Amino acid sequence: MKKRRLGNSDLYVTELGLGCMSIGTEEKTAFRIIEAALEEGINYFDTADLYEFGENERLIGKALKEYREQVVIATKVGNRWKDDKTGWTWDPSKDYIKEEVKNSLKRLGTDYIDLYQLHGGTLDDPIEETIEAFEELKAEGIIRYYGISSIRPNVIREYINKSNIVSVMMQYSMLDRRPEEEAMPLLHKHGISVVTRGPLAKGLLSDKLLEKASEKGYLDYSLEELKEILPSLKEKAAGSRSFTEAALQFNLANPAVSSIVAGASSPGQVHRNAEAVRSTPLTEEEMAFIKKITKANVYKDHR
């Protein structure tokens, strides 16, 4: 599988990464999904301390132990579980980040993290303090690089101006083109990679189409609009490809994107996603059609 450089780092990640949140907690099943990813040549595995109260990190670390030097492990920090596990609070403080990284290292069974990401962020955060925590961890060799997971242009701008992030994870798909307006061009200009999530728009951009549709629609789209747009996209943008192939190729066509982090709940899903990434890129005409009939969504409250 092809690899792309992550920002200005020396990390080269496969065009498809495994989003580990969906692998479950049953060890044998989780390991089979991870093995399928390795079989496909995937080297990028994304988790978070929040997932399954840390159990996800433990499974990832155990499954990848013998491949540690060949893979890129990314995890996240900032969401702090309440003592009773009924929910979590947001804590981007330096003290919490530097303490929580120790727990992630222990669960992952490693002495370093390739990419440590802030799991969100707002302008009300102590951003300089947060950056200081990441920079110190990098200097100590505990993390190799850091990034953020955010869809907020205002927060992204702050980190571009004040930090050495190498990546930003954000939601992006044919039906969610919000990052195209500002975030993606700005990040690309500064040599910072985009890692995308949600490329299938909750299943709407898979061959199941409207089976996954909600009465509420999706983002700016009403259910009636989806009924009109999705069949057209499948017919004229996907063509002989599966709809999943077209959806993933749409993401890879953006020059700011280094990798698509896609979840999988079965080995078969991993194999299908890998096949989609290896398929034929979209033509200029297909890209033009997609952008013609979909909306250039805008962020309404994340400026």
Task: Give catalytic status of residue 51 as yes or no.
Answer: yes
Closest to 65 in 3D by CA, of 111, 102, 28, 19: 111
151 half-sphere exposure, CB direction, 13 A CA radius: 18
Q: Which residues have a Cβ under 8 Å from the Cβ of 86 and sit 6 or more positions away?
A: none
Residue 69 is classified by DSSP as G
State the SS3 of 115-139: EEEECCCCCCCCHHHHHHHHHHHHH
**72 SS3 class:** strand
Q: Which of 91, 158, 87, 131 is nearest to 303 (CA)?
A: 158
Catalytic residue (one of 44, 51, 145, 146): 51
Place of tokens 């981007």: 92
CA distances from 137 to 103, 127, 252 (A): 14, 16, 31
**Bridge-partner residues for 17, per DSSP?**
261
Most distant CA pair in the chain: distance in Å?
A: 54
Is the Cβ–Cβ distance between 112 and 141 less than 8 Å?
yes
Cα(253)–Cα(281) distance, rounded to whole angstroms? 7
State the catalytic residues: 51
